[in-house]
Structure 1
């Protein structure tokens, strides 16, 4: 990780670069907003590691309970150039854009996820694989298409979904990117950014969504044990792990099938990666092999 990756990851999310005109010339300052001051303290330490020590944290909006971290960029070589890279004049307005030469590394992706990523879960669809959602509503359609291509280069398949703001009476407000859930995108995504949230900030709050709703935390942006069960049920090479474990236990395919309550052919196809088991059947297979979802995740990571 370097300071440019750190800055560009946050710029994909909630950070901005603003210009202040003075008689002595133009000054550029970076601003990152958050609900939890502890998160900004974490970022302050990260920036400090890369020589950016002139940072400050202030309460940004008392009514909304937000804080901001900022620093003037002119004191650091190369950083003022990020303003020209990330902002363009369009129809008399200065808009944030996705740079064509953006390098979407795992570090950039992690800090984008921390800022604007989520893993929405629908209680009424308990066996549904939860997608990763990346907010991109501050970017143009061209920018969204570029981000999809950048993600594709990492082996990640995302598609755009129209975003309607709850603060604007449901009016269209750009697009969000949803991950595919029927391939290895989710497994690969969290393999890149980390299968666990950064320990320093996992209990920092991201705020509340709607009146009377529960408080959400950064750890909620990562899959739970139950989520991993669903994700791994759709992940390639898991059948190879089952086949190896069956051999270690000296079970036949027929014996495993009988314990699970399915046909031998079903088990054969799962082992040969010709089909994915449904979440309920997948859970039963794990029980037969005495695997937890996290045990299986660890073994699948070893195959990557």
Structure 2
């Protein structure tokens, strides 16, 4: 900031608020400039990254622990700044909605968000205050033979909430040349032995996956990402619950792009078994209808169809489960 600032006003506001960030907001300057002025004026301040006394510990509840685990697998990280004894959590996203969601989830650590523009893109940087509990987690995740390298704890547990935060950070769909679809999770920044651990943990909860080597990575210890088995794709995506509009695209399998018909049949297996409930005649009609279409069918088409391809009972059953099986929409 190059604007002129009344140092006396900065000191008076800090004496009133006891918060450098609040002073920065009132004067429309950076909080770093506020603390620089306060130091030059000899004003004793609290470290902006601290929370309460240095030994005060605010332990995360079960939900926040899972969120933190998922974020550390993805785009989030813990760090200890110079002159700080404890760690704070940091995260950057181009989605304001997600940053504000994390702001609420990490509220016990008094987080704040700063927006920064990089070219035409705007990013939202979330930083919490430091805490001894976060330091304890930091020591579990950043310790490789005494070096501060990010690792994955052996006792990590992959719950749906953990995987959700991991997926929205580093996951995405991939379409191969032969039309097959896969869910990929980028783990290139971890050593291979830790990615192997994640593959093992995914297998334990019913998701088969494999490692793919990124050929552009020169260091053979790194550069591996995870590919979820095609047959587990639908089950993997629907296991997670997403309520954020900014990530809707990460939970829509675009079957128009994927020409492998086995995906269609796999996707509709639960629908078929759930709706037609052992009615072999209707079930056979349904499977025949699905497997002979070159595109995803729309449930509205089935319901509004005047054809006698399905019995009225079959159509009634499909209509009954309309809300439950919204995934049938194009």
Sort the TM-score into its range (normalised by shorter chain): 0.5 to 0.7
| Contact 1:162-1:175 at 8 Å conserved across structures | yes
Correspondence 1:161-172 to 2 at 5 A:
161-164=212-215
Alignment match, 1:145: 196
Question: Which of 10, 15, 38 in structure 1 is aligned with 2:76?
Answer: 15
For 1:57, the equivalent position in structure 2 comes to 113
In structure 2, the partner of 1:268 is none
Larger CA deviation: 59-68 vs 226-235: 226-235
CA distance in 2, matches of 1:142, 1:191: 28
* Structure 2 unmatched runs, 5+: 1-61, 303-308
Q: Which one has the largest radius of gyration? A: 2
Alignment of 1:159-198 (within 5 A): 159-164=210-215, 174-181=223-230, 183=231, 185-194=232-241, 197-198=242-243
1:1-304 matches, cutoff 5 A: 2-22=63-83, 26-48=85-107, 51-52=108-109, 54-60=110-116, 62-63=118-119, 65-74=122-131, 78-90=133-145, 93-121=147-175, 128-164=179-215, 174-181=223-230, 183=231, 185-194=232-241, 197-198=242-243, 201-203=244-246, 218-224=247-253, 226=255, 231=263, 233-234=265-266, 240-241=273-274, 244=277, 256=285, 260=289, 277=291, 280=294, 288-289=309-310, 295=322, 298=325
Indicate the residue corresponding to 1:214 in structure 2. Answer: none
Q: Give per-residue Cα distances to partners, 1:26-47, cap 9 Å, x unaligned.
A: 2311111112233211211222
Distance 2:139 2:287 in 1: 64
Secondary structure at the counterpart of residue 14 of structure 1:
coil
Contact residue 56 and residue 69 of structure 1 kept, 8 A: yes
Q: Distance in 1 between matches of 2:181 and 2:130?
A: 39
- Decide which moves more: 224-233 or 143-152: 224-233
Contact residue 86 and residue 99 of structure 1 kept, 8 A = yes
**Shift of residue 175, structure 1, vs aligned partner:** 1.2
Distance 2:322 2:157 in 1: 33
Structure with the higher helix share, 1 or 2: 2
Alpha-carbon shift at residue 178 of structure 1 (Å)? 0.7
SS of residue paired to 2:91: strand
Q: Give the superposition deviation at 1:231.
A: 4.2
TM value normalised by structure 1: 0.66
Q: CA deviation at 1:226?
A: 3.2
TM-aligned CA distance change 1:80 to 1:93, over 3 Å: closer
- Assess, with a 3 A threshold, how the Cα gap between structure 1 residues 135 and 259 changes in structure 2: closer, same or farther: closer
TM-align CA RMSD: 3.9
Quote the offset at 1:251 in angstroms: 5.5
CA pair 102-243 structure 1, distance change in 2 beyond 3 A: same
Q: Secondary structure at the match of 2:87?
A: strand
Structure of higher RCO (CA pairs closer than 8 Å, 6+ residues apart): 1
